[in-house]
Chains A and B, each alone.
Chain A
Amino acid sequence: MPDAALRLRNLRKEYKDVVAVNGLDLEVAYGECFGLLGPNGAGKTTTIEICEGLTAPDSGDVELLGLRWSTGAPELRQRLGIQLQETQLSEKLTVLETIRLFRSFFRKGPAPDEVIALVQLDEKRNSRVGALSGGQKQRLAMACALVGDPDFLFLDEPTTGLDPQARRQLWDLIERFKESGRTILITTHYMDEAERLCDRVAIMDHGRIIALGTPRELIASIGIEHMVVFSAGSAGHPLDVSALTRIEGVREVRPENGAVRMQVTELHRAVPALIEELGRQAVPLTELRTHSATLEDVFVALTGRRLRDE
């Protein structure tokens, strides 16, 4: 058994006017849930579709489950579960008919009814696909990826456009698959999704990997542990921001939309010191929030941009 479930070497893919994947190297271990993160247009989908054998790279090498697309395609197709971004399954078929169709392509796998139960669509088994909600459709797409009892699951933005409850249901599903010890490659631009599901993540930008590690490692790597956001003062009685930078453990103070963002290392020291400083300046505090640094902050720190420029 090869040591890595997926190994990409110097992958390159160029389209007419853009280099989608620019010399990418990556290894995903067996049993790992690996996340590809990045903004739209970073090359995530191109990368995952090259791995899935749907797009041919211009150069570079893909080794998947110890096989290569050039020689092992039929075997690979049997062992992969694939969920594409924005596939619309036939609306006129029922849930059961759709699953039976996909099940018929695979040598082995659970019975259609088992898969339907797994994704909790039992009540909808005889409903037309056209009558399903967005979350139900996405779970059906997931079921189509799971019918072949895959060793490796590819998920391309599985929760984009879903409401929070539907996202959580899908996450549960992914976590259950993960617990069975099989490998997952997931792309997303939701940082919370990556932090919750992924053992390791790679942050992509302009076709390259700009950071790689566990979510915790990446967050630690930028040296920000916590973020304190507050609003204080008024036009008549402004806050003296420069005094804040002298507080111990405060790394950066940045005014933002009438509020102030502070990067701090130790919350339990910085917050009391902040309150004390405000008291000294006799400036009233109108809002105070703290949050731990996220992968979103990592992306901002690395690129100076936000993930979703909306």
Chain B
Amino acid sequence: MSEHPLAQLTLVRFREFVREPEAIFWVFIFPILLAAGLGIAFRNRPPDVLKIGTLTPEFAQSLRREKLLDVQVLSGAEGTAALRNGKIALLVTPATGGVVVYNYDNTNPDARSARMLAEDAIENGAGRKNPVGSRDRILREPGSRYIDFLVPGLLGMNLMGSAIWGLGFAIVDARRKKLIKRLVATPMPRHYYLLSFVLSRLVLLAVEVAAVLGFGWFVFGVPVRGAIADLALLCVLASLSFSSLGLLIASRAQTIEAASGIMNCVMMPMWIVSGVFFSAQRFPDAVQPVIKALPLTAIIDALRANMLQGAGLAQVGPQIGVLAAWLVVCFAVALKLFRWR
């Protein structure tokens, strides 16, 4: 094997990584477990059957023609109680003059759906003829499910976590043990030291991305519609950006505690606002420019555009710009601040 210092330093990074079982868990196993858990929780179920109640058998007969409704005949008092405590979403009652009364909470989406289904069933049962003919074509296409939204988010989160943790802890630990100082006392070129982290990161990155995407594809059929080369390039760029952010975080910290404090301060807000688990669009418009400027938002948006919409690099230009800016600025500042002892 090569005795070149950069090769040796990079090998050391690998050895230290694979001899740390916890690191392997957090980097490879955890995202897969998370995707599996969330994938199961949000799996596509057959459409829910809505429970409703009515007071008369006549109504019940009409309503039962609608398969998505589960109809119970109740007394007046039972019906009111069941509606109040949420056992049924809708109570259909007769009123004077043959009018039908739909009792429901109009802020509850289930209740609104139940009302529409119930009205159609009652009207059709009473002999309504629809003036315009219609039929249904059901679409349940990969690419629009929650798991499809989630996998790019988890991939982005993983890129960030492994780069920042991987670099940050390793560097601060080496500094705490005076190992950096010891290495600086040899003829080792300093940029090789930093470069070895980046190189080992890129190799591990390939494994991580393959693990998460492969799992999503095999188990849930999550698509990758864009070019694989584009996707790889985005992952590499993101990993480099997060690595330089990690480098900046670790550039001065002397203890693991200080470093992990800073890491949490940096990563936690991004986990929340950058759209890992739910769309970043839910935050107010006023903060959208800030959210869009975050590296995690940029990579997640770009990954979703690539994987789900098949977007090319040109279409994710703004996100690439954001990531590149973080890369350059953090690296430059980190080099200036880096404490070599």
Contacts and interface: CB of A to CB of B under 8 A. Distances in A.
Interface stretch (B13-21, B27-35, B46-54): B13-21
B187 A78 contact: yes
B12 A148 contact: no
21 contacts: A77-B185, A77-B187, A84-B182, A86-B178, A87-B179, A87-B181, A87-B182, A88-B177, A88-B179, A90-B12, A92-B19, A93-B15, A97-B12, A100-B3, A100-B8, A102-B186, A104-B3, A104-B8, A104-B9, A105-B5, A106-B186
Nearest to A84: B182
B178 A104 contact: no
Interface string A58-92: 00000000000000001001101010101111101
A104 B187 CA distance: 9
Contact of A148 (B8, B177, B179, B186): B186
B12 A87 contact: no
Given A88-B179, A93-B16, A106-B186, 10 more contacts: A52-B185, A78-B187, A84-B182, A89-B177, A90-B179, A92-B16, A104-B3, A104-B5, A105-B187, A105-B188
Contacts of B16: 90, 92-93
B112 interface: no
Contacts of B24: none
Given A100-B3, A104-B8, A54 B186 contact: no
Given A54-B341, A104-B4, A104-B5, A89 B179 contact: yes
Interface in A228-271: none
A54 B185 contact: yes
Contacts of B258: none
Interface residues of A, number: 27
A78 B19 CA distance: 31
DSSP class of B's interface residues: helix, strand, loop or mixed?
A: helix
* Top 3 A-B residue pairs of the complex, sorted by shortest distance between their CB atoms: A88-B177, A77-B187, A104-B8
Nearest to B170: A90
Nearest to B192: A105
A44 interface: no
Nearest to A92: B19
A103 interface: yes
A74 B12 CA distance: 23
Contacts of A88: 177-179
B184 interface: yes
Interface string B327-341: 000000000000001
A300 interface: no
A248 B184 CA distance: 59
Contacts of A101: 8-9, 12
A27 to B, nearest CB: 23
Interface in B227-272: none
A52 B182 CA distance: 11
Nearest to A75: B187
Nearest to A73: B187
A87 B178 CA distance: 5
A93 B179 CA distance: 13
Given A93-B15, A93-B16, A104-B3, A74 B178 contact: no
Contacts of B15: 92-93, 97
